[in-house]
Structure 1
Amino acid sequence: MEAETSRPNADEVEQTKNKLLSQFIEPFLLSRPFPYLWLGQLISFLGSSVTMVILPVIVYSITGSTTTMGFIMAAYMLPNIIMLPISGWIVDRYNRIHVMLTTDLLRFVIISVLAGLLFAGSLSVHVLFVLVALYGAMDGLFQPAYAAVRAVVFTPEIRNSANAMTQISNQAVRLIGPSLGGILVTFMSAGWGISLDALTYVASFACLLLLRKLIPFQRSQTAKSSGVGNDFTEGFAVLKGNAWLWITIVVFSLVNICYSGLVTVLLPWLFKIHLEMSPYVYGIAVTCSGAGAIIAGLVFGMKKQWHRRGIFAYGGAIASGIALLLMSITPNAVGLCALFALEGFGIMIFGLIWETTMQELVPQEAFGRVASLDMLGSFALLPVGFVVIGWLADVIGGTQTIALFASIGILALICALLVPAIRRFD
């Protein structure tokens, strides 16, 4: 009798598993463009994650200077930031697939030159600055185009699962890429790791060529007739017309400084210097953050439609901030790994809701400009934030700075939730 009553429960579990699996398979079955966009960018993201691990090795082998490494990252970010307003205008006036193809080709050339100089043993720090700056500018052109193409490919019937699948895949690669980069640079050479990155752009280029045939380009009438000034005004007008969009961009221009600054500058210090933990413990904690983000993607992708998204999005970001705040008073590795998982889960929930709402609310003909304004708000002040957080940690202490900036981020998010347009956004 017990076996008979347990059988339906087993069937229900199996049905639930099949339903969840079908949700994530749907984008591949219902959208012909999705597999090409997903695969191409997944492969190139793997190459980029390998390069970002190898780049510090290259810099330290040439100069041995942490200051130089900081300037190298600034050389990447500043052209990226400067390019964003220009790229938004370009993306909305020209074929977005062609923009992506062009940037993939140019990034392939830049990375190939870097690999060639490494193999020849003739790379200088000055040349590295130039190559990194060019690469950053191309990223600043590529990302708004990629965001605009996603908005076209991720149609309403697959939007949640497509965004979730993309982010889950990226997080999985983020776990694999650093390890692969470490293996390549340890057992082969930095040149081979950089060469792998170059080859990934070839794969991405091939996928985009196939994608181009599936997404015809139609230039909007406003793009044909309006000037540059009017184009930018239209992008601001789209944001101004929706409180959810512009308030969130403004709030996260501050929150990103607080959260990203802590994650980039002070959390490595917390593990290595303050708590004197082995490097592998920090690596495990970062892996836990990725695992938390993957779980968030799985949860979000389970449903085609979520309600009360304003509360869920900001609640996720607040949970991420609380995790960062508690890290300042958590002395053991297990607790820190759990907090890293919560941090990754919370910020991914926000990111997925933000991505889907952008795709819903922003008109296709203005998406490039709005996406570039969003990225500009997110990235423009990050270099300043990194410097301020590092300086303040030397003045008042690292754990105090972690607690302070985490609290500022949480407070900004709570204040935003007091606005009805944010709290009631559905």
Structure 2
Amino acid sequence: MTLTKLLGAEANAVLRPPFLPYWLGQSVSALGDRVTTVALPAVVLSLGGGASDLARLAAWSSGAQLALLLIGGVLVDRLPRRTILLASDGLRALLLAWAAFLLARGGASIPLLTGLAALLGACSAVFYPATASILPQLVQAPHLIAANALRNLSTQLSGVIGPALGGLLVALGGASLALGADALSFAAGALSLFLMRPRQAETRLQRRPPLLAELWEGFRVILASAWLWLTVALFSLVNVFVGGLNVVVLPLYAREVLGGTQNLGWLYAAQALGAVLAALALGRTRQLRRRGVVAYSAVLVQGVTVLLLGASHALPLALLALSLGGACVTVFGVLWEATLQERVPNEALGRVASVDMLGSIALLPLGFVLVGRAVTALGLSSSILVCGGVVALLALAGLCTRAVRQLE
């Protein structure tokens, strides 16, 4: 069965140039990116590093991304987005190839790998706003939902396949092989972007206002639309509890409720399966009415699935709850990205995407701490119920606003 038959008629309109080379290349580089999440920690451990070194690696990567995300959004609106994506993939290919070469020759060190993680995080701070805002130049507006569903589909599949592939490559040829394969994946992504020709020519003004003025203009665009600033604000809180659930609670749930940490892989796989199925369904969608109601209803159902997880002590019911939750996350994410791309002016889309992304991840460290303390104070099951209840209440708060209900 071909992908076109699997996705339906909408795929015929989307899976063609210029979107097709973009999607194929970014799918390959996303897979390689997931390989890095396994390979870099493996290198650190092979060099004698411990928990503090792994924490420092993650902190420098996420810290660089957070620090540069807003500036990355400004650059995305100042420069051609295809050029930014091409430069980002090309630079990451060179960095990873250099690291693989040093590692193969025995010249790698933990400080060098920490610096590499920071540079990769800095590239991500520019890459993600660019890839979120380039789709309107690749497909026509009626096909944005399907295009975002395809992008989400490849992301979810890479999340399932990439870590396993990374572990296999490390086992077969060491971390240098894994990093080298990742470098090739980014090179493939860069090649696909080089071959891609956007449907719309990009034009940029020769003279631009100061960087801070442009950054503030992006915030003004957000504040001018109630549905936009409300969603960014609400989801900075939703992600606190969803992120805490995934990172802190699920490993404990697998061990203490289901009887072994070996079940954690099944829990994460169930989330990914639900997300993939939802992406396949949305890939068949051309237009969707009452988009705000549908998106926030998905978040409400997600909160209910977390409540179901908290009340469950059996693996099959937990897998069902998490697969439904994964589907709900994808429904909201695809509809939200398509709405941004349709309604935000193209010249401000990079800045809005960067602010949206910053709002999504800025409070995650706080969420890990809060949920961890909740587990200590309330117990595991009660903490899961709190997470689900808060997510459901935040979704209801959004549904109670006219701006969300009127969002078509």
With the shorter chain as reference, the TM-score category is over 0.9
User: AA paired with 2:319?
Assistant: C
Structure 1, unaligned runs of 5 or more: 1-16
Of 239, 258, 262, the residue aligned with 1:256 is: 239
Displacement after TM superposition at 1:345 (Å) = 0.5
The superposition leaves residues 253-281 of structure 1 with CA deviations (integer Å, 9 ceiling, x where unpaired) of 111111012112221221135533252x3
Residue 312 (str. 1) matches residue 310 (str. 2): no
Assess, with a 3 A threshold, how the Cα gap between structure 1 residues 80 and 218 changes in structure 2: closer, same or farther.
same
Contact 2:306 2:387 in 1 (8 A): no
The separation in 2 between residues aligned to 1:385 and 1:215, in whole angstroms, is 41
In 2, the alpha carbon distance for the partners of 1:390 and 1:121 equals 39
Whether 1:420 aligns to 2:405 is no
The residue that corresponds to 1:21 in the other structure is: 8
Measured after TM superposition, the shift of residue 343 of structure 1 is 1.0
Tell me, yes or no, if structure 1 residue 282 matches structure 2 residue 264.
yes
Matched, 1:401 2:383: yes
What is the distance in 2 between the residues matched to 1:213 and 1:330?
Answer: 49
Using the TM superposition, give the Cα deviation of residue 122 of structure 1 relative to its aligned residue in structure 2, in angstroms: 3.8
Q: How many residues align?
A: 405
The worse-fitting range, judged by mean Cα deviation, of 402-411 and 132-141 is: 402-411
- Is the counterpart of residue 270 in structure 1 residue 253 in structure 2? yes
Residues 344-398 of structure 1 deviation map (CA, whole Å, 9 limit, x = unaligned):
1111000011011001111111111111111111111212222332344334433
Query: Are residues 96 and 386 of structure 1, via their aligned partners in 2, closer, same or farther at CA, if it must alter by over 3 Å?
Result: same
In 2, distance between residues paired with 1:62 and 1:328? Answer: 40
Match of 1:6 in 2: none
Alignment deviations for residues 153-198 of structure 1 (CA, whole Å, 9 cap, x no partner)? 1321321221112212222222221221121122321211111111
Tell me which moved more, 242-251 or 153-162: 153-162
- Whether 1:108 aligns to 2:93 is yes
2:281 to 295, 299, 318: 299
Measure how far apart 1:213 and its partner are. 6.9
- The range that moved more, 339-348 or 103-112, is 103-112
Asked if structure 1 preserves the Cα contact closer than 8 Å seen for 2:138 and 2:199, the reply is no
Q: Percent identity?
A: 34
1: CA distance between counterparts of 2:137 and 2:403?
A: 26
Identify the residue that residue 410 of structure 1 maps to in structure 2.
392
Q: Is the 8 A contact 1:74 1:383 kept in 2?
A: no
Please give the alpha-carbon distance, in whole angstroms, between the structure 2 residues aligned to 1:57 and 1:391: 29
Q: 1:401 to 1:359 in 2, by over 3 A?
A: same
Give 3-state SS (helix, strand or coil) of 2:207's partner.
Answer: helix
1:54 aligns with 2:36: no
Q: Kindly state the Cα deviation for residue 341 of structure 1 after the two structures are TM-superposed.
A: 0.6
Q: Where does 1:116-155 land on structure 2 (aligned, <5 Å)? A: 116-155=101-140
Structure ID, larger Rg: 1
Query: Is residue 236–residue 361 contact of structure 2 (8 Å, CA) maintained in 1?
Result: yes
Give the counterpart letter for 2:345 in structure 1: P
Consecutive aligned runs of 4 or more in structure 1 exceeding 6 Å deviation: none
Distance 1:338 1:136, change over 3 A: same
Q: Which runs of 5+ in 2 are unaligned?
A: none
